[in-house]
Structure 1
Amino acid sequence: MQDDPLTTSNTANYMVDANASKETVALFYNLKRLSRTKTAIGQQDAFNSFYQDAGGESDIKKNTGYDPAILGSDFMFITDKNNNEQADNWFYQQEQKIIADTKNAYAKGMINTFCWHLREPFKEESFYAADMSAEEKAVAFKSILPGGANNEWYKKKLDKIASVVSSLKGANGELIPIIFRPFHEFDGSWFWWGADFCTADEYKKAYQFTVDYLKNVKGVHNILYAFSPDNSYTTEANYLSQYPGDKYVDIIGTDNYGDFNNQGQTGADKANSKLKILSDYAKAKVKIAALTETGYRVTNTTPAIANWFSTLLYSALTKNDIEISYMMFWNNNTDGYYTPNNTASNAVDFKTYSSKTRSALVNSLPKMYEMPK
């Protein structure tokens, strides 16, 4: 096993934020150490999006008896133009629910990660490029950069994020650490920050601006920053083409659905080779590697794939000695699921996967917010 230079006393040196709170520093250290032996399993909206709207415990807990190790949330409703911070406002109610879920996850010893489906700066109605005019698509991303027409607008959105993240506190008043994954899947062009709508240089500038503003201007010190393209890369150089730099990124991630979409072992091996690129880079640079989104969605018309979790996904996360700290499934909803509850046809396959040696639900996590003694 390769020894990296990370110790309990030098961890902050390898992080984006040298002034990170002690719980945030501990989270970085523990995620990095965890990856040597296990991959934490997460799900987006695990506490409130259920297959067939069956409320109660998370679908993962219904199946396995344990909550996931990671809770995924989104700043989308929190920064929505219609959030007026009044008690009777639907968007504000979503904000309150997300804050409560985040605190609940932290109290359970889970890890919190946030993405941001930020709506475009003109009408603020959609994050999908397909819903925008050609003119809007051409200028939207450039307009939020420093000096751009919508940079002040963008700063106000970041102000809102800063105020929410700074208000996330545990039982002893300590700040709750989160992972933040801005402008994800930028190598595709489905989002308005995608490849067709910004240059590599513009992307790097926006990412750097986001980090610098939250950390230095707003003084937010409970964030780990994740970088996550979709799965289009095949080489390290390709992966790093829009990378804002080691000073700006804690977590080397990727979203990958395509390689798992009915591609069998061939697809799983492709996913593994892409994850190996991340794992190797994370080992060399003392960063954390993660599969930041994945899954295969089962519906009434799309049946489960036999052994998808226990064989295909598990092999992708473990072959070739890779070290992937965590992975996250997308959310379940009324008519489809990524993680089966206890009644779904592939419930046993998921349960088998989650109890394998290198898998971790919340019950097999160490204390993530304390340095080991």
Structure 2
Amino acid sequence: MKNLLLKSIVTSFIIVVSSCSKDDPKPDPVVVVPPVEVTDALTTQNVKTYMVDKNATAETVALFYNLKKLAKTKFAVGQQDAFLSFYKDAGGDSDIKKTTGNDPAIVGSDLSFVTDIRNDGTDSNWFYQEEVKNATQIKNAYAKGIINTVSWHLRGPKNKNYPATDNEEYTFYASSMFDADKSTFFRSILPGGTEHDWFKGKLDQVADFSSKLKGSKGELIPFIFRPFHEFDGSWFWWGADFCSPEEYKTAYQFIVTYLRDTKGVHNILYAFSPDNSYSTSTNYLSHYPGDTYVDVLGMDNYGDFNNLGQTGADKANAKLKMISDLAITKVKIAAMTETGYRVTATVSPVTNWFSTYLYSALTANNIQISYIMFWNNNLDGYWVPTPTASNAADFKTFATKSKSALVNTLPSMYVLPN
């Protein structure tokens, strides 16, 4: 681990040896070299040097630093749409709070509604209403000291499941794309492509949304942004079948440089988050845009937890160990950016799934993972159990283990320590 230096004090004693003689019976002099303190590579003074945005806001810098330090002892536990989507549409407190008594430590939102072509910015428009709900969720989470992460299910190609005359329905799923778009659409958004201006327009909307996220003192709210996630699969139009590694890198790099340098957005940490297909660092880095474009090394992983017991948990741990080691070497943040096991009327919970299998995947082999996020509960199923569910006690046990952090045990994430 190149950049992780053990905190210790090394004291060296150099004994200067000189020849003894009968005329000089005095003992040889001893020269003591002062103690040398070896510390972590990351400090409050140099934190910006490891970040994508050297002009990041103070709160964004603090979030990077505190997430990196958190991983040494704990991982933040959270859920997508924790304040917006509930099992059986129950509403009220987050389902995590219903079960544990405390809100999550991290909350996920999405920019899909912000950039949807049907969002006309009027109060009566459903897509604009969803945009406002997501912004409110982010603001409320920040006010509680919770971490925010934002995905982007960007609708782009025309949806073949709608009439050809309907110009308003677009998709992010490859299965709904016209075949002609599958081989061309991603390439068309790159610089020089026919849809590049369209893509810049979408990023303009992202920048505008980011600028409206403000705390009680007018400060910009930081969030972790993970564009084009799960790219190693091919269920999204930005997936592996539709772009080369170099094309993916080009698109990701353009997102960062356009938002940061052209639009002046400085409240974002950028996450790189494939699905779980990569088990070696070489493969994981095949689409990696580079250290200057990525703050968070993530991985979405549902497959290894699909009722595969300890075998699946061990596979997941090995992959997390891989990204944890990379994050230590690169001085980045490591995270399980999505995971879960969904329970429905026809799919029963797995005994001790949370407290045994998931927890061991997140803690074995001394890995350093900063956060984990479950997907959103809804009317038909849950990833996080509510109090009456048969696995509620299992989740509560998981959430109160020594390395799990809900908001009640989360340190202050938006202020650099002294």
TM-score over 0.5 for the pair: yes
- Aligned sequence identity (%): 67
* Counterparts of 1:302 and 1:142, CA distance in 2: 39
Q: How does 1:263-282 map to 2 (within 5 A)?
A: 263-282=308-327
* Counterparts of 2:116 and 2:5, CA distance in 1: 45
Structure 2 residue corresponding to 1:147, chosen from 192, 200, 205? 192
* Counterparts of 1:74 and 1:267, CA distance in 2: 29
The corresponding residue for 1:284 is 329
The corresponding residue for 1:157 is 202
The corresponding residue for 2:369 is 324
- Does the alignment pair 1:311 with 2:356? yes
Shift of 1:121: 4.0
* Counterparts of 2:350 and 2:120, CA distance in 1: 44
The corresponding residue for 1:13 is 49
Shift of 1:341: 1.1
Q: Would the aligned equivalents of 1:276 and 1:320 in 2 still touch at CA under 8 Å?
A: yes
- Does the alignment pair 1:63 with 2:108? no
Structure 2 residue corresponding to 1:201, chosen from 217, 234, 246? 246
* Counterparts of 2:174 and 2:91, CA distance in 1: 33
4+ runs of 1 displaced by more than 2 Å? 1-4, 121-124
* Counterparts of 1:327 and 1:367, CA distance in 2: 18
Q: Which digits, 9 at most, give the CA deviation of each residue in 1:55-87, with x for residues without a partner?
A: 100000000010100010000011100100011
* Counterparts of 1:157 and 1:65, CA distance in 2: 39
* Counterparts of 1:87 and 1:253, CA distance in 2: 36
The corresponding residue for 1:28 is 64
Q: How does 1:104-123 map to 2 (within 5 A)?
A: 104-122=140-158
Q: Would the aligned equivalents of 2:157 and 2:171 in 1 still touch at CA under 8 Å?
A: no
Structure 2 residue ranges without an equivalent (≥5): 7-39, 159-166
Q: Would the aligned equivalents of 2:335 and 2:371 in 1 still touch at CA under 8 Å?
A: yes
Q: Secondary structure at the match of 1:141?
A: helix
Structure 1 residue corresponding to 2:214, chosen from 139, 159, 169? 169
Shift of 1:30: 0.1
The corresponding residue for 1:178 is 223
* Counterparts of 2:116 and 2:186, CA distance in 1: 18
- Does the alignment pair 1:246 with 2:282? no
**TM-score normalized by the length of structure 2:** 0.88
- Does the alignment pair 1:234 with 2:270? no
Q: Would the aligned equivalents of 2:275 and 2:300 in 1 still touch at CA under 8 Å?
A: yes
Structure 1 residue ranges without an equivalent (≥5): none
* Counterparts of 1:181 and 1:248, CA distance in 2: 12
**TM-score normalized by the length of structure 1:** 0.99
Shift of 1:2: 4.7
Q: How does 1:335-350 map to 2 (within 5 A)?
A: 335-350=380-395
Q: Would the aligned equivalents of 1:44 and 1:72 in 2 still touch at CA under 8 Å?
A: yes
* Count of residues in Structure 1 that have an aligned counterpart in Structure 2: 373
Instruction: Give the AA of the match of 1:246.
Output: D
Q: Which digits, 9 at most, give the CA deviation of each residue in 1:240-269, with x for residues without a partner?
A: 000000000000000000000011000000
Q: Which digits, 9 at most, give the CA deviation of each residue in 1:143-183, with x for residues without a partner?
A: 00000000000001000010010110000011100000000
Q: How does 1:75-86 map to 2 (within 5 A)?
A: 75-86=111-122
Q: Secondary structure at the match of 1:41?
A: strand
Instruction: Give the AA of the match of 1:333.
Output: N
Higher relative contact order (CA 8 A, sep 6+): 1
Instruction: Give the AA of the match of 1:280.
Output: D
Q: Secondary structure at the match of 2:134?
A: helix
Q: Secondary structure at the match of 1:209?
A: helix
* Counterparts of 1:354 and 1:372, CA distance in 2: 26
Structure 2 residue corresponding to 1:262, chosen from 307, 310, 314? 307
* Counterparts of 1:55 and 1:235, CA distance in 2: 41
Q: Would the aligned equivalents of 1:225 and 1:249 in 2 still touch at CA under 8 Å?
A: yes
Report which of the two structures shows the higher radius of gyration computed on alpha carbons: 2
Q: Would the aligned equivalents of 1:121 and 1:150 in 2 still touch at CA under 8 Å?
A: no
Structure 2 residue corresponding to 1:188, chosen from 229, 233, 239? 233
* Counterparts of 1:55 and 1:185, CA distance in 2: 29
Instruction: Give the AA of the match of 1:165.
Output: S
The corresponding residue for 1:125 is 170
The corresponding residue for 2:413 is 368
Q: Which digits, 9 at most, give the CA deviation of each residue in 1:121-149, with x for residues without a partner?
A: 44551100010121101001000000000
* Counterparts of 2:317 and 2:118, CA distance in 1: 41
- Does the alignment pair 1:221 with 2:221? no
